[in-house]
């Protein structure tokens, strides 16, 4: 694999939603029912184009193919895509608020190969550079093992009742950002 990480561009968005849907369908199996996966794709999982506009969303490529995406945010929105962002879009204060880790998805054939960790490293470094001292996220159930292994702690379990009446469980997690690593 020739894996590279870069900031997402608006031109990437058409390729991201199919990746997100495929990732959600295949990697959520066994954690959520088919009905929950369908509803989550319709109402929650999808690109939040504001992250791309803000320059806080990354893509991982294997050669020319995008195989992963994820980012962080300076905004209060905790999760959700363009179709249904959850939380207001106002700016966070790094002195008191936690930056948000958002919208991590990996192509199923590239899962468990370090792509999620690489995205998390980029998010931590960028949030630290923006003077944030903590991170929070709303994890899907299949994402909890990655985030736990990366040092996130469970804060609370949340059941989101989606607009079509489908309940889906998420886990709100958080962690501190350590000092800048020596070069």
- CATH code: domain 3-176 is 3.40.630.30
Strands 134-139 and 99-106: parallel
pLDDT value of residue 183: 52
* Number of CB atoms found within 10 A of residue 159's CB: 8
Instruction: Please give the model's pTM, rounded to 2 decimal places.
Output: 0.93
Residues whose CB is less than 8 angstroms from the CB of residue 154 and which lie 6 or more positions away in sequence, other chains included = 144, 148, 171, 172, 173
pLDDT over 70 (residue 182):
no
pLDDT digits over 46-79, tens only? Answer: 999 999 999 999 999 999 999 999 999 999 999 9
In which residue are the tokens 């991170």 written?
135
pLDDT digits over 95-106, tens only? Answer: 999 999 999 999
């Amino acid at each position: 694999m020739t894996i590279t990480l870069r900031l997402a561009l608006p031109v990437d968005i058409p390729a991201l939603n199919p990746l997100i849907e495929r990732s959600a369908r295949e990697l959520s199996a066994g954690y959520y029912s088919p009905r929950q996966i369908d509803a989550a794709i319709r109402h929650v999982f999808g690109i939040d184009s504001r992250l791309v506009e803000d320059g806080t969303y990354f893509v991982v490529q294997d050669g020319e193919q995008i195989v992963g995406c994820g980012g962080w945010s300076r905004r209060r929105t905790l999760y959700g895509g363009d179709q249904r962002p959850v939380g207001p879009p106002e700016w966070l204060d790094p002195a008191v608020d936690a930056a948000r880790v958002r919208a991590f998805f990996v192509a199923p054939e590239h899962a468990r190969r370090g792509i999620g960790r690489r995205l998390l490293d980029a998010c931590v470094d960028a949030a630290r550079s923006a003077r944030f001292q903590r991170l929070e996220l709303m994890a899907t159930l299949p994402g909890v093992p990655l985030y736990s292994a990366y040092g996130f702690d469970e804060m609370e379990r949340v059941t989101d009742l989606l607009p079509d009446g489908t309940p889906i469980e998420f886990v709100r997690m958080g962690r501190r950002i350590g000092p800048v690593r020596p070069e």
